Structure 1
Amino acid sequence: MGCGSGKVLPEASKKGYVSVVQSLVAFGKVRDDDDPKEQKEKRGGLWFSAGVDAPRLTADSQRQRRRERRRDGAAKYKDKFEPRVTARYDIKALIGRGSFSRVVRVEHRASRQPFAIKMMEVEAPEGREVCDSELAVLRRVSHANVIQLTEVFQFPQRVYMVLELATGGELLDRVVGRGHFTERDATRALRMVLAGVGYLHNLGITHRDLKPENLLYYHPGADSRLLVTDFGLATFTGSEVSETDGGNQSGGGRSWSLRTTCGTPEYMAPEVVLRRPYSCAVDMWALGVIAYIVLSGSMPFDEDSSTRLYRSIVRGKYSFHGNPWPSVSNSAKDFILRLLVSDPATRLTAEQASRHPWVVTMAASSSMRNLHRSISQNLRQRASRGSSRSPSSTAGPGDARSAGAGDG
């Protein structure tokens, strides 16, 4: 989850691809620590159906299978939990796994309120570093559109972070599941993301791994707030700027710089790819990529070769060709154009982006045409390309969260 000390940019075609396909597929996640049989099963969902004659699992049956696997996973890790933790929380299901962590759904024994606990292994120096960095950020944040840390249990071998439990699904899950999606729906989601990201930037925090699967709805209802989550790569410069990053924090964190090459390749800003010092403006580039995906179901920078991908990013080479772009307003395209700017100094800040006419008016002057069909088709096509790749050409999301030269 953290940034390593190697000097090689993350592989896009091999390591970043699965991470991107994950964010575009509404059912299940393929992880690098799943065995090949499980990966094949997870790819057998609705998006990967070979045709009408192929055996198909219903969404309900898939959810049931995932629930059973999570319960089994929870039982496996329950014994590892410290008694002081299990005395307060009842372990329910395994939610996810990372290089140094396991995330489980729990229930507070007294209030019966659900939470998520992130159990982090901190014996190894790398795990301790990742944990300390994430805690430094989470302990400082309190915003409706940012995941909230509730409680922390610290032990020599493990640290347990009790977090809000977001049950409404990922951003793209909601887009696909609605059956009807317009530009107004897109602005409603992006306004919440901008609110959360702007808050972080004003605190001097750069997320460094913004992508659709790290944007979760708090509950399944239509009025749910959208949360920025997963701060494994985030950095709070307030305490690090003089020692690590060599800059000065002012004006909402826009003048200091970072140097670590990390993140998910397809969402990396040009300055990160070029290994140049960068600021929180990298998050705004990632938001431009996210806006492009949300409105089209396609990636602005989508190459099989990592070399071609990075070249496209550095050149800022993308287009608004193909469906549904003819149905998307010029105002929405202008919003993306002002975020996917190669020069970070002229890229919109979170505050400026939240004041863009398309966002402020919630696409009032845009067509209310339903973009859902084209978005879904593009998502299915990309998922199909991902499923047709050989296992040797893919890797899990943990590998895509990558390494490079260290800060400072």
Structure 2
Amino acid sequence: MPFGCVTLGDKKDYNQPSEVTDRYDLGQVIKTEEFCEIFRAKEKTTGKLYTCKKFLKRDGRKVRKAAKNEIIILKMVKHPNILQLVDVYITRKEYFIFLELATGREVFDWILDQGYYSEKDTSNVIRQVLEAVAYLHSLKIVHRNLKLENLVYYNRLKNSKIVISDFHLAKLENGLIKEPCGTPEYLAPEVVGRQRYGRPVDCWAIGVIMYILLSGNPPFYEEADEDDYENHDKNLFRKILAGDYEFDPPYWDDISQAAKELVTRLMEVEQDQRITAEEAISHEWISGNAASDKNIKDGVCAQIEKNFARAKWKKAVRVTTLMKRLRAPEQTETAPATTAATAATTAAAATTAVATTTAATTATAAIAATAATDTAAPAAPGTPPATAQPPAPATPPAATCNGDGAATAAADAAATTEAPSEQTG
């Protein structure tokens, strides 16, 4: 199917809105994300269903940049474990991106519905993710937002494949990247520490996903009140910087040593020593017979239901505020004093609008100090800490990123809602 418009930013090549409606019937909004609305679309001539993402240009430069970026990246990729781009239309007011429609369930839902679930099932999921990520990395593409919510079964058939979605944060690695970007619980230490980073951040995120799928718990958590965003995120980041996780009993008692070894290599604090996606595919737990076939469903499901039952809740408020804190030191270093003061005032007003606290300045200083001290002396590679770790409280899976370093508007992010029916790109 030809793309409706192939030249980004060329006013002479704008599509007319009627070109979209002549070809597709757009249904009701099924999901609202930070930058776009998502529809189920039906092609009129064939009756085939697709996903349509609509970005409004009037919503600002961040939205326009996200739409252009997703189009550019998706036009580059073709892999069985990545939702494929179908069509693009660019009008004077909107970007329309049409993608394959995945009708299967999210991985969490699939696990909960199984009568039997073992390491081999997890190995099959991780293998498919690694193969897709190795392909992306061969093109020097960094996804930057790998998480369980972006993994879905393509359809509801028994042997359905896993597909990766959501590429608006993906980036070509033309030199190392600096701006903080991603979902808090999946952020690699180099992102939290405001170091330059690249493709290894995706491997760290796969390690976090694997840890959760094998135990039902996230590797990093903070016991502070979930509504105390300032302290929660500051302490969470400190643990990520130090690689402060462990394979705590009883959740890991029945998990193979090979699985633990791969998690440790994926979640290596030093990005230069972290295993690559291609190397991980050859690991015995992925390509050999090291994955156990023992049923671990009861333990994993109990923890999933405890930690992630509210997985579609309180989504973007805390992520927006923490990204502001991550970026604040960088903005202070580069912006004139008057500009920084204005930005701080604006950020404080936006934060107040979504009922967050006014302790951002203190938290920024604390996180900057944490990054400076903890990254200077990271935990030894592959050495988990000795302290016990109880089950984690649920934490919101959300993401935000803006390539120019400005913080995402908290009020916009707070309005984000999510429906569980279909997964989109």
Name the TM-score, length of structure 2 as normaliser.
0.68
Post-superposition offset of 1:381:
1.7
Q: Quick check: 1:82 aligned with 2:17?
A: yes
1:279 corresponding residue in structure 2: 198
Q: Structure 2: where are the runs of 5+ without partners?
A: 1-15, 225-231, 322-397, 406-425
Letter in structure 2 aligned against 1:381 = K
CA distance in 1, matches of 2:233, 2:191: 14
Matched, 1:328 2:326: no
Q: Which has the higher contact order (CA 8 A, sep 6+)?
A: 1
Name the residue aligned to 2:233.
306
Residue 48 of structure 1 aligns with which residue?
none
The 1:327/1:230 distance shift into structure 2, 3 A limit, reads same
Q: Deviations over 1:209-258 (max 9, x none)?
A: 10001011110112111111101111123xxx2xxxxx2xxxxxxxxx10
Q: CA deviation at 1:396?
A: 7.3
Q: 1:377 is paired with a residue of what secondary structure?
A: helix
Instruction: Give the superposition deviation at 1:323.
Output: 3.4
What secondary structure, in the 3-state scheme, does the structure 2 residue paired with 1:115 have?
strand
In structure 2, what is the Cα distance between the partners aligned to 1:405 and 1:133? 10
Q: Number of residue pairs matched?
A: 305
Distance 1:95 1:191, change over 3 A: same
280, 288, 291: which is aligned to 2:210?
291
Residue 162 of structure 1: how far off its partner (Å) = 0.7
Residue of 268, 273, 277 corresponding to 2:187: 268
- Displacement of 1:184 in angstroms is 0.6
Whether the 8 Å CA contact 2:23–2:45 is kept in 1: the answer is yes
Distance 2:131 2:91 in 1: 34
Tell me, yes or no, if the aligned pair for 1:194 and 1:353 is still in contact at 8 Å.
yes
Q: What CA distance in whole angstroms lies between the structure 2 residues aligned with 1:367 and 1:384?
A: 26
Asked if the contact 2:85–2:97 (Cα under 8 Å) also holds between the matched residues in 1, the reply is yes
CA deviation profile, 1:149-207 (whole Å, cap 9, x unmatched): 01101101101111000111212221222232101101111111111111111111001
Does 1:358 find its partner at 2:285? yes
- Name the CA distance, whole Å, in 2 between partners of 1:139 and 1:148: 9
1:271 deviates by 0.3
Q: Gapped runs of 5+ residues in structure 1?
A: 1-80, 242-246, 248-256
Work out whether 1:157 is the aligned partner of 2:93: yes
The amino acid across from 2:76 in the alignment is: R
Q: CA deviation at 1:403?
A: 5.0
Q: Does the 8 A contact of 2:169 with 2:401 survive in 1?
A: no
Contact conserved, 2:180 with 2:191, CA < 8 A, in 1? yes
Matched residue type, 1:236: L
Q: Deviations over 1:361-405 (max 9, x none)?
A: 2xx344322111111111122246889x9x7x9837777423588
Going from structure 1 to structure 2, the CA distance change for 1:198 and 1:383 (only over 3 Å counts) comes to: closer
Q: Per-residue displacement from partner, 1:123-166 (whole Å, max 9, x unpaired)? A: 32221111111111011011101110011011011011110001
**In the alignment, is residue 402 of structure 1 matched against residue 420 of structure 2?**
no
Deviations 1:84-108 (A, max 9, x none): 2122112234321123211111121
CA distance in 1, matches of 2:402, 2:46: 44
Aligned CA distance change for structure 1 residues 404 and 127 (closer, same or farther; 3 Å): closer
- After TM superposition, list the pairs within 5 Å mapping 1:67-146 onto structure 2: 82-123=17-58, 124-146=60-82
Contact 1:261–1:406 (CA under 8 A) maintained in structure 2: no
Residue 372 of structure 1 corresponds to: 297
Identity across the alignment (%): 34
Contact 2:50 2:98 in 1 (8 A): yes
Partner SS, residue 139 of structure 1: helix
Residues in 1 aligned to 2:28 and 2:152: alpha-carbon distance in whole angstroms: 18
Q: 395-404 or 200-209, which moves further after superposition?
A: 395-404
Which SS does the other structure have where 1:283 is aligned? helix
In structure 2, how many angstroms separate the alpha carbons of the residues matched to 1:139 and 1:180? 38
Q: Is the 8 A contact 1:136 1:236 kept in 2?
A: no
Give the Cα–Cα distance (whole angstroms) in 1 for the partners of residues 240 and 279 of structure 2: 23
Q: Does the CA contact (< 8 Å) of 1:324 and 1:371 recur in 2?
A: no
- 8 Å contact kept, 1:259–1:405: no
Does the 8 A contact of 2:120 with 2:292 survive in 1? no
1:385–1:152 Cα change, 3 Å: closer
Following the alignment from structure 2 to structure 1, what is the Cα–Cα distance between the partners of residues 194 and 320? 21
1:178 to 114, 123, 129: 114
Question: In 1, distance between residues paired with 2:319 and 2:74?
Answer: 22
1:386 & 1:97 partners in 2: Cα distance?
16
Name the SS of the counterpart of 2:25 in structure 1. Answer: strand
* Distance (Å, rounded) in 2 between the aligned partners of 1:405 and 1:86: 32
Instruction: Show the counterpart of 1:168.
Output: 104
Task: Give the TM-score normalised by the residue count of structure 1.
Answer: 0.70
Aligned 8 A contact 2:187 2:201 in 1:
yes
Moved more, 332-341 or 98-107: 98-107
Matches of 1:405 and 1:154 in 2, distance apart? Answer: 21
- The answer to whether structure 1 residue 189 and structure 2 residue 111 are counterparts is no
Note the C-alpha offset of 1:82.
Answer: 3.0
